[in-house]
A and B are shown apart, each in its own frame.
Chain A
Amino acid sequence: MYMTNSIINLEHISHKFNHSVALSDVSLEVKQGEFWALIGPNGSGKSTLLKIILGLLKPSQGTIELFGGPIDSFNQQQRIGYVSQKSNAFTTQFPATVLEVVKSGLTSKKGLFKRFDKEDEQQALDALHVVKMADRKDESIGDLSGGQQQRVFIARALVSHPDLLIMDEPTVGIDRQNVESFYSMLSELNREYGIAILLVTHEIDVVTKLATHIACLNRSIHFHGVHADYEKMSEAELSGWYGHPIRRLHQKETEPVR
């Protein structure tokens, strides 16, 4: 594999479900250390695009490169940490401790037929330290609050030392106060550890303040670029691609008004 700082490179991705177009000619490049917010209304194809990047779905058209190589031959899954929206809705009665959940993030790195050892346990503890949850390691995952659980899932994604974190609306079901501390933790991970982040979200105003790059998706990409250029977009332009009237909010206001 040749050296590159390109982590995700999507070229002309289109996808159809039966006859309905989910994505049309989407091109996007995420490089090392960038924090991308992928925003768009419901049904805009955000989750479909993530599934394509994660290899869970094959696009009808277009090419995908991960870490400079084609996705079909990509076998370094440990370089990508994934936090799904569904993690919020896992079975709360599932008998598993925080440490067991985080260790499971090392499964593919460890390889088939090999069992976890002390070193893996230490790595899981280190990841829990990063998200400030090490003191809860022996608690049952179901006993934690939504925000704490999501921190554990971030630790699971971080434990294999990924170069990229992909998150699909990770704050669904988390209260407002915890959402803000969650996002500032993401920002810290990006700045201090240089981890590239691709975050799919509805919470436009909170995230666009933290992200270095923003992509606006509504089946096709309507804008992608650095944060400063996004800020220059008028409310009319924003509302145009979003499909609803959008007003920029300031200071304590946090949600877009439709």
Chain B
Amino acid sequence: MIEAIFTYEFLQNAVLSGLIIGLIAPMLGLFIVVRRMAMISDALSHVALAGIAGSLYLSQQVLFFAALNPVYLGMGAAVIGSLLIERLRRVYKSFEELAIPIILSAGIGFGAIFISLAKGFGTDLVGYLFGSVSAVSRQDLYIVIFIAIIVIAFIYFLYKELFSLAFDPEYARVSGINERVIQAAFMIITALVIGASMRIVGILLVSSLMTLPVAAAIQVAKSYRGALVYSVVFGEIAVIIGLISAFYLDIAPGGTIVVTSVFILLLVLLWKKVRS
């Protein structure tokens, strides 16, 4: 595979994108999981599906969209979905978790309509649903790099505020942290990471890469910083093993990456049980 990486540009794109996503998805995922918002990434990925399907449908109808990377519309839809979730959480103050199924259903609904209108998309859509090693373009890689810079800067500069909000939101509000602004920015960034990850991991599996490595990390880490490091290490292991097996077995990388993550989680749980 090493030789192939140096030979084929598509493989370089896939490996580099995969490694970057293995870094940023679990990194952001830790903040999502400890805030008990794991389902939000699921809802946003389904909204991204609507955007991708919409873009693929429009590409059959309008020339402009034929030249447009569907990732942009997918990402745009996820960002709009993230802002709508925030709005709905405020409308249903006592039932704020309702915002997630509402947006998730809307995403699947629109996605189904566009897929039906276009009479199916064949391999294109399957690539977006479950990820693809061969479909990652150089442009996709640039998008991933750009989003990774935003995510890393966001977490680096707002680490203490994000920690405070995750650990004790009421205390964070009392101490003057602007929860509303940081939360809105956090949601938008989550949507961008989902958009960036879907080429490799696939829309249906992207939330797994945000939650499974974190689920394993919080079993072994004592500190928040430790949990962040473990999450990234587990995420990268899953991406590397997942990509290699997808390449040799010629199957969707989303599946192999997520199944590897599940194995890592099982191993961690087993190790913890044996140790105790």
Within 8 A of B (CB), among A77-117: 77-78, 80, 82, 84, 86-87, 90-91, 93-97, 100-101, 103-108, 110, 112-113, 115-116
With beta carbons under 8 angstroms apart, the residue of B160, B168, B174 that contacts A55 is: B174
Question: Which stretch, B113-121, B186-194, B224-232, B250-258, touches the partner chain A?
Answer: B224-232
List of A residues within 8 angstroms of B227 by Cβ: 95
Within 8 A of A (CB), among B213-249: 217-218, 221-227
Q: Say yes or no: is A148 at the interface (Cβ < 8 Å to chain B).
A: no
Given A86-B170, A87-B168, A105-B217 contact (CB < 8 Å): no
CB pair A100 B174 closer than 8 Å: no
Assign chain A's interface to a size class.
Answer: 35 or more
Q: In the bound complex, how far is the Cα of B18 from the Cα of A9, in angstroms?
A: 57
CB proximity of A127 to chain B, nearest CB, Å: 15
Q: Say yes or no: is A75 at the interface (Cβ < 8 Å to chain B).
A: yes
CB pair B172 A107 closer than 8 Å: yes
Closest to A101 in B: B167
Q: Say yes or no: is A32 at the interface (Cβ < 8 Å to chain B).
A: no
Q: Say yes or no: is A188 at the interface (Cβ < 8 Å to chain B).
A: no
CB proximity of B172 to chain A, nearest CB, Å: 7
Closest to A110 in B: B160
Given A90-B167, A139-B222, A116-B160 contact (CB < 8 Å): yes
CB proximity of B100 to chain A, nearest CB, Å: 19
Q: In the bound complex, how far is the Cα of B225 from the Cα of A116, in angstroms?
A: 13
Closest to B34 in A: A94
CB proximity of B143 to chain A, nearest CB, Å: 25
With beta carbons under 8 angstroms apart, the residue of A84, A108, A139, A156 that contacts B177 is: A108
Closest to B221 in A: A95
Q: Say yes or no: is A237 at the interface (Cβ < 8 Å to chain B).
A: no
Name, among B156, B168, B173, the residue most crowded by chain A CB atoms within 10 Å (CB to CB): B168
List of B residues within 8 angstroms of A113 by Cβ: 157-158
CB pair B173 A107 closer than 8 Å: no
CB pair A100 B177 closer than 8 Å: no
> Interface of A with B (CB < 8 Å)?
54-56, 75, 77-78, 80, 82, 84, 86-87, 90-91, 93-97, 100-101, 103-108, 110, 112-113, 115-116, 138-140, 156
Those 9 A-B pairs whose CB atoms lie nearest each other, nearest first: A77-B176, A95-B227, A108-B175, A108-B176, A97-B223, A140-B222, A113-B157, A95-B221, A96-B224
